[in-house]
Amino acid sequence: MSKTISRHCIFRLCLVGLLLLTAACVSIPAQTWLVSQITTTSIETADQPVSAECTIKNIQAALVSPTTSPLQLDPQKISVINWNIYKAQEDGWAADFKSFIETQNLVLIQEAVNRQEIINLLEAQQPYWLLNTGFYYEGSEAGVLIASSVPAIFNCGLRITEPIIRVPKTVLISLYPLADSNKKLLVANIHGINFTLGTDTYDQQITAMVSIIEQHKGPVIIAGDFNSWSESRLAIVNAMVEKLVLKKLAYASQNRVRIFGNALDHVFYRGLEIITEETLKVTSSDHNPIKVSFRLLE
């Protein structure tokens, strides 16, 4: 997807998506499927059932559970990068990826693929990662991924199918413990529904995510490729921001990719304050990464 795009290009991309399915490059799992650095689990086939699908009941249980993990994020500096890596298909992606994720506490990736060259780079910096599978791309899980310097204490996923190209988009929600604090940090990574004639399915995806996040009253980071390329989509995103009482970045560097004049990638937050923020310009993806450093508000 280019930085500026026409409706004709969107139509062509829809055709490409359909052709990929026809060519059997893409297959769809039957249910929410989370894959991690430790094991592959699903809500149907795990030896010990895992709450892979986000529900109000399981997030509420996680929020009241005591934190026992010895590894916790430093609330005085939580560094985050958000990036759609375009399935790591462009020249130079590996060098950029390695450089950008270095020393980050949280790495939120859209269009991540469970390929060894990607995972090796991740695990050299962030030993813990989890991917919510939207589909299999050339035999490997693909979707949204969160990697972190400390293990999450809870993870769950949402999945909704694109109404035109029929390839699911995913959301991954994780909870992280904060050192010297009784608060937990909720992090959500979203790849927004893209190819629709209206906004019903897009609204459904955002609403499902909001219903889970609103159970949490503490600090929040929501980031991703929202595919917010129209005013009507932005209205849905802004309604989410208002309902969850989120703040927006200033985006001083003005490097976010835009379609029809509207930015696609966003980072929203609550209960935190900004230390630094920057949007980097790259040629190794069709999206530019956003780097942010936060501290916890007392």
pLDDT at 39: 53
Token pair for 95: 């060098």
Angle among Cα 224, 251, 175 to the nearest 5 degrees reads: 35
| b/e 160-184 (16+ beta carbons within 10 angstroms → b) | bbbebbebbbbbbbbbbbbeebebb
For the ranges 18-22, 48-52, 63-67, 90-94, the lowest mean pLDDT is seen at 18-22
Q: Where are the alpha helices (DSSP H) in 102-253?
A: 116-125, 200-213, 231-243
19: pLDDT strictly greater than 80: no
Give CA torsion, residues 107, 110, 112, 117, to 10 deg. -50
| b/e 242-267 (16+ beta carbons within 10 angstroms → b) | eebebeebebeeebbbbbeebbbbbb
pLDDT at 25: 79
pLDDT at 7: 47
Query: Average pLDDT of 180-191?
Result: 97
Residue 226 CA to its chain's centroid (Å): 9
Reported as a pLDDT band with limits 50, 70 and 90, residue 26 is confident
Alpha-carbon distance values, 121 to 37, 57, 101, 124 (Å): 13, 35, 9, 5
Contact yes or no for 178/201 (Cβ under 8 A): no
pLDDT at 10: 52
pLDDT at 2: 41
Residue 177 or 21, more confident:
177
Give CA torsion, residues 297, 226, 193, 37, to 10 deg. -60
Contact yes or no for 192/225 (Cβ under 8 A): yes
CATH assignment of 7-296, among 3.30.565.10, 1.20.58.1180, 3.60.10.10, 3.40.1160.10: 3.60.10.10
Which class for 20: exposed (0-12), middle (13-18), buried (19 or more C-beta within 10 A)?
middle
Residues 6 or more apart whose Cβ sits within 8 Å of residue 239: none
pLDDT at 29: 85
176: pLDDT strictly greater than 60: yes
Residue 91: Cβ within 10 Å count? 8
pTM for this model (two decimals): 0.90
Which 3 state secondary structure label does DSSP give 100?
A: helix
Residue 215 or 21, more confident:
215
State what percent of residues in the chain have pLDDT above 70: 88
Residues 6 or more apart whose Cβ sits within 8 Å of residue 282: 92, 96, 288, 289
Query: Average pLDDT of 269-296?
Result: 97
47: pLDDT strictly greater than 70: no
Which 3 state secondary structure label does DSSP give 12?
A: helix
pLDDT at 175: 98
The chain-wide mean pLDDT, for the chain, equals 89
For the ranges 85-89, 106-110, 200-204, 271-275, the lowest mean pLDDT is seen at 85-89
Closest CA to 46 of 59, 56, 54, 35: 35
Write out pLDDT tens, residues 240-273: 999 999 999 999 999 999 999 999 999 999 999 9
236: pLDDT strictly greater than 70: yes
287: pLDDT strictly greater than 70: yes
pLDDT at 273: 98
- The residues pairing with 170 across neighbouring beta strands, listed in sequence order, are 159
Strands (E), 54-183: 78-84, 106-113, 128-137, 140-148, 154-161, 168-177
43: pLDDT strictly greater than 90: no
pLDDT at 51: 52
| b/e 32-54 (16+ beta carbons within 10 angstroms → b) | bbbbbeeeebbbeeeeeebbbeb
